[in-house]
Amino acid sequence: MKVVVCVKQIPDPALPGELDPTTNYLKRDDKLILDESDSYGVEMALQLVESAGGGEVSLVSMAANNEVSGLRTALAMGAEDAVLVSDDALAGSDALGTARVLAAAISRMSPDLVLAGVESSDGYTGTVPEMIAGVLDMPSITFAKQIEVDGNTVKVQRQTEAGYDDVECQTPALVSVTAGVVEPRYPSFKGIMAAKKKPVEELDLAALGVDGSTVGQGGARQETVRVTDAEERQAGEVIEDEGDAHEKIVEFLGELKIV
């Protein structure tokens, strides 16, 4: 079984984010890391291949600046190899442009199953996986909390507002994985060393046969007209509990006529 996992490399979410004042793009100057949301997809893929008794997990990623450090993390977890699409023309790509590029890369890899996180931790549009399936004209199941592959059938528990649905379809298919559904493994020292030698194929748009005008800022056909500071919510009273804080809460609730 061949599983391709879409991974995004993002600025460290622990650091304060910033928009570039001229382009209004998210600043990505510092080292990028593997998006935690995607580590669940990588782990899920590794587990599926292990329980299928064989196969391989490949990664696909897109970045404007040949960044590979996030990919190395996923390779260290156990993925075999990676394809990185990098091209200056990609800057400012929206979800659809991103999906076109990733789909073009994936179609060269002929996977049985494509996995992706439901949404990234920086852009969180939550639409790219379904768009990739759309470009590839492939069935898809989004918001998976559990995945099982049985021969050519993929069976998924799909999260819903009310609970979950059992959904299944034939492979090849794309499944998007919700965060927290598996425990991503920590790369071992051996894994980290091995990852340094694993192949990362770098492709540009020409190599993929993607028309540059359909991606990047031009392809996005949308314009950031302004960025404003949101009205700040004012902090109120902060007190140290000295054994009577609960009384303060009851009083506060009383003023609001909750109690």
**16, 56 in Cβ contact below 8 A?**
no
In the complex, minimum distance from the CB of residue 194 to other proteins, in angstroms, rounded to a whole number = 28
Is the Cβ of residue 162 or residue 196 nearer to other proteins in the bound state?
Answer: 162
In the complex, minimum distance from the CB of residue 14 to other proteins, in angstroms, rounded to a whole number = 10
Which H helix or E strand runs over 81? Answer: strand 81-85
- Using alpha carbons, list the distances in angstroms from residue 208 to 83, 100, 140, 201: 11, 10, 23, 12
**129, 116 in Cβ contact below 8 A?**
yes
In the complex, minimum distance from the CB of residue 7 to other proteins, in angstroms, rounded to a whole number = 18
Of 102, 10, 82, 6, which is closest to residue 45 (Cα–Cα)? 6
The phi and psi torsions of 25 (rounded to 5 degrees) equal: -85, 155
Is the Cβ of residue 145 or residue 185 nearer to other proteins in the bound state?
Answer: 145
**132, 102 in Cβ contact below 8 A?**
yes
Is the Cβ of residue 110 or residue 225 nearer to other proteins in the bound state?
Answer: 225
List the structure tokens of 78.
Answer: 């156990």
Is the Cβ of residue 190 or residue 228 nearer to other proteins in the bound state?
Answer: 228
Give the chain's length.
Answer: 259
Is the Cβ of residue 189 or residue 235 nearer to other proteins in the bound state?
Answer: 235
In the complex, minimum distance from the CB of residue 190 to other proteins, in angstroms, rounded to a whole number = 27
In the complex, minimum distance from the CB of residue 57 to other proteins, in angstroms, rounded to a whole number = 22
In the complex, minimum distance from the CB of residue 98 to other proteins, in angstroms, rounded to a whole number = 11
| Alpha carbon 214 to its chain's center | 22
Burial class (CB in 10 A: 0-12, 13-18, 19+), 206: exposed
Is the Cβ of residue 193 or residue 221 nearer to other proteins in the bound state?
Answer: 221
CB atoms within 10 A of CB 194: 14
